[in-house]
Structures are given as structure tokens and as C-alpha cells.
Amino acid sequence: MTTRVAPATSETIEEAARILRRGGLVAFPTETVYGLGAIATNDRAVAAIFETKGRPSSNPLIVHVQDRAAATSLGVWSEKADALARAFWPGPLTLVLPRADGAPISHLATAGFPTIALRVPAEPTALALLAATLLPVAAPSANRSGMVSPTTAGHVLDGLGEAVDAILDGGPSRVGVESTVVDMAGPAPSILRPGGVGADEIAAVIGPLILPGEGASAAPGQLASHYAPAKPVRLNVLEPASGEAYVAFGPPPPQSPKFLFQLSRMGDLKEAARNLFAQLRAADASSAPSIAVAPIPDHGIGLAINDRLRRAAYRG
């Protein structure tokens, strides 16, 4: 079967929901990155996600639901977790909660952990799809494990192609980096993965929390090498070597590199996040032998950008 890429309309969303309910895999847009969805209560469909991505079965998936009410019975909610859901859902925030007894979610999806990661995405196509399936949808980013995440339907097709039953095209993802994963199941709230919601915004709602690198353990899937282009990547470069692909932030260097990929000419971090994965892919596809990336300020969504760049540059 050839994979169909369909512009998201009410008809194609209904069809995608039918494919999901029959146990199929559907890639769909979210505001962060494209997700590879399967019904989260269906063991076989969830197993197909791991197989298609080449993902280790020890790395749990995020369960997506259409609203806070649909998440109520899946996790054990604290007051602070509830405050975060009210403040940031729908949106790029994933809450890790103790898994509720009797939650009908596949134990493959949660990788056998006693916790569950929950998210309500903001992208209208994703919400319409979740409303049409009437079931929770497990969805990692729609890329092969370890590769650069997809922010367009074309990226999904390039990476997964025939292995997906359908791809809904909702245009480029608006945020461009994945959701912030916050652990609300441990002794103190901690950020497992920086993402679309800033740590400062989260702290403003629930008070101090443990940041990555401050003793918080990373999410199980946060391997040192991830988001990795095929070419070597150097970071914090102000003057690229001649012939190197340059991923710029702010005004380009005066000697104007031959292969220039702009994250944000204006030096806007949100715009840079939106462009990050597409520009890394484009730099990787250029004929330059290696990639140099400009320094990115380490605050707000810049924390998420730098987290992804460090993993893109890591060669173990």
C-alpha cells in the first residue's frame, strides 16, 4: 500500500480516525512536531509504533487526549498537576503522573513504568482527530528513532514513508520543538525535557522545580545522541569554516557563508524554534561536509533549542 498524504479536512480526519480505530498508524500534525499515532489501548497498534520507529521498547510514549476531562481517569492527579493542566492545556506541555489503577492504556505504551505521560495538543487537526477517535492516542514524534524530528508532512514521508497508513498534512508545526515533559510523579516537580513551554512559565504556576542538569533525571528517551543529522555538527560557532554549512541566528557573519541556513534573522527565539528542525535537515541535505551552528541564548524556548542542538552534535 502506498502511504497517502492528505491535507487535513473534516473528511480526511474522519478517515484517519477510522484507520486508527482499525489498529493502523496515522501521522498527524501537532503544534510542536508531527506525531506517529496509534490507539493507546491497543497493544498491537502500539507495538507497531515501536517497530516502525526502531524505538527501544524501554522508552515510553506520550498519550494524547482531547481535553483535561479525558485525562482524569488515566493518571493520579495532584493539585499542582491540575494547576499545570489548567494553565497550559491544550498546549506543548506533557505531564508525567502516577498511572491510575485500571487505566486501559497498553503497558507497552508506558514501557511498563508505573507512570503515564499525558498531553492535550493545541493544533486543531490533532484535537479534531482525538475527538473523532474517542480514544487516547499514543504518539511519539514521527521520525525514525534518533533522527531529526519532523515539522512537516514531507519530513514524515521522507523518514517513514510506506510504513505509515496515512499522513495528515496540516502545514508546518507552529512551535517546532517538542513539548516540555514535567515529572509530577516524583518527590518534587522536575523538568525531564525542556520544550515548548518555558521553565519560568511553569515555575510561575507551581513554584520552584528541578531543572535539567540540576539533578533531575532525564526522560528515559533522552539519549545523549538524538535529533542527529548524518553530518558532524559543531556548536556555538561565530565564524564558520569555508565550505561549512552555517545555521545562523541573527545577522549572518560578514563573509556570508556559501551554505547559509537562517533560524531567525531578527534573533527571535520562537521563530528559531519553529525553523530549527527544517533548517538542520536542509543543512544536512546540502553538499557541505559539516554543519556549524551559531550560539543560541539559553533562556525561554532557547533552553529547548540548545538541548536539541547538544544531542544533534553529540558523537558517542
Q: With CB under 6 A as the contact rule, which of the stretches 6-14, 115-123, 234-242, 284-292 interacts with ligand TXA?
A: 115-123
Q: Among 123, 165, 178, 307, which residue sits at the site for ligand TXA (rule: CB under 6 A)?
A: 178
Query: Which residue type, as a one-letter code, is found at position 314?
Result: Y
Taking residues 245 to 284 in sequence order and writing x for each that binds ligand TXA by CB under 6 A, - otherwise, the string is: ----------------------------------------
**CB contact set of 279 (below 8 Å; sequence gap of 6+):** 247, 261, 262, 263
Establish if 308 lies at the interface with ligand TXA (CB under 6 A): no
Of ligand TXA, Mg ion, none, which one does residue 212 interact with (CB within 5 to 8 Å by kind)? none
- Considering the complex, state which of residue 60 and residue 302 has its C-beta at the smaller distance from ligand TXA: 60
The answer to whether 130 and 30 have CB atoms below 8 angstroms apart is no
Across the chain, the runs of DSSP E, i.e. the strands, are: 4-7, 26-28, 35-39, 62-64, 93-98, 115-119, 137-138, 166-169, 180-183, 190-193, 233-234, 245-249, 259-264, 291-293
Q: Among 141, 262, 279, 306, which residue sits at the site for Mg ion (rule: CB under 5 A)?
A: 141
Q: Among 20, 74, 119, 198, which residue sits at the site for ligand TXA (rule: CB under 6 A)?
A: 119
Per DSSP, the residues of 61-118 read PEEE-SSHHHHTTTB---HHHHHHHHHH-SSSEEEEEEBPTT----TTTTTT-SEEEE
Binding residues for ligand TXA, how many (CB under 6 A)? 30
d(Cα 229, Cα 282) in Å, to the nearest integer?
Answer: 10
Q: Among 12, 52, 66, 115, which residue sits at the site for ligand TXA (rule: CB under 6 A)?
A: 115
Residue ranges that bind Mg ion, judged by CB under 5 A = 141
Residue ranges that bind ligand TXA, judged by CB under 6 A = 30, 32-33, 35, 59-62, 92, 94, 96, 110, 113, 115-117, 119, 121, 139-141, 178-179, 181, 192-193, 219-222
